[in-house]
Amino acid sequence: MTASPNSEPGPVDDKVRTVSALKGVRVIELGTFLSAPFAATLLADFGADVLKIELPGEGDPMRTLGSFPEGGDTSYWWSSIGRNKRSVALDIRAPEGREILGQLVATADILIENFRPGTLNRWGITPEWLTTRRKDIIVVHISGYGQDGPWRDVPGFDRNAQAFSGLAYLTGEKDTAPQQAGLPVCDFNAGLWAAFGAVTAMLGKVLNKDSVGNDIDLALYETMIPFLKDVPMRYRREGKVTERTGNTPDYVSPGGAYLTGSGEWIFVSGTGDRVFARLMAVVGRPDMPEMPMFKLNKDRVTHRKLIDDVINGWMQQRSTDEVIQAFQDADVPAVKIQSIADLMNHPQVLSRGNFIDIPDSDRGDVCLSAPVPRLSRMPGTIRWPGQRLGESTEAVLQGELKLSDAVMADLRSRGIVGH
């Protein structure tokens, strides 16, 4: 069932290709919904053994979000976010479940959670409790606003983080309401930052020969702050609040979304004097880059409409294919704004194997995104899609922790362990 986007023949030894970069690393995921589960998925893709602890009888609500295959009882999304993980149905709120969790923590390198601050403490899973069981455990906390500060207890999901971080304020057309991104970018970014933090902490332990663990504290809204480019600096220095500009960037011209004669939109980037000159030559105005009003980028931003009128007039007389080809021939960055159908059937995407069909016993073949980034050695792989709730409970609790049949039966009867 193993699939890899890096399975083509090459100079790298096949044995090296089958090695997983994070083989031997164990991760306990206590997350629900998206941010913590996505962080654990990234680690699992590169070989970490991820034990996803889920509430018996309920499981991660991600199992029920989005569309379902016909006749299926779990969503398409679950196939992706649950992939490469072993599902253990265990109620860690109960003392017996917490004790079992403690035994698993003793075998783990990383624990990732995204409950509201203080939740684990209320269940008796305190920092001291964790380090007593594994002194060098790396614990990753993801929450709406972080583990401290006056807003630590305020609930927050992806949309709230987009609004709080300034992302929504900057997204949308100038004279319309602020717009959330079309995808849960703060949740996904939190997963990226969390996985990066966990691997950085592990590497730091090795490089510094450190035997102590680490606590990583990540707020959803913080995930967007490094992406705000010069917006904070302009405000701090000049008191200037950057406003929405829609598809037209406020820092460069020409650039943005343009409509072709086929009725399709493309993004064109005319960044830099040389690219601008090549672009204007394509649209029949090689004289414009030599005019004083268009010499510098700041001047082109001021006179954006004059430039855009020329580009729009040229594009609307030509098909999308003609426009794209002309720009590519002139080495001008331009691309059609693609639907998912365009993306998944594009020869570049097909060539790089960005989507993989994986067999699934419950849902038939499921199409998943290939692991990224691509490593020439020890690449990421998809070994299986999201498991059924509690599918690995016996393998972990009985096969590894050696709980007896009688103990398991008792725990099941009281709803502490799931089937």
Residues labelled as active-site residues:
187
Q: Sheet harboring 265-269: ordered strands across? A: 255-259, 265-269, 334-336
- Per DSSP, helices labelled H in 227-353 are 231-238, 273-282, 297-302, 304-315, 320-329, 340-344, 347-352
Decide: 40 and 53 in contact? Cβ < 8 Å: no
Radius of gyration over alpha carbons of the chain, in Å?
26
CA 405 – CA 115 distance, rounded (Å) = 32
Mention every residue, 6+ apart, whose C-beta is less than 8 A from residue 345: none
H or E stretch at 335: strand 334-336
Report strand pairing: 334-336 vs 355-358.
unpaired
- Per DSSP, helices labelled H in 21-63 are 35-45
CA 293 – CA 265 distance, rounded (Å) = 28
End-to-end CA distance of the chain: 24
Alpha-carbon distance values, 106 to 27, 46, 119, 174 (Å): 11, 22, 21, 54
Q: What are phi and psi of 412, to 5 degrees?
A: -65, -40
Does residue 345 sit in helix, strand or coil?
Answer: coil
CA 217 – CA 143 distance, rounded (Å) = 8
CA 76 – CA 66 distance, rounded (Å) = 7
Residue entry with tokens 């700041």 = 298
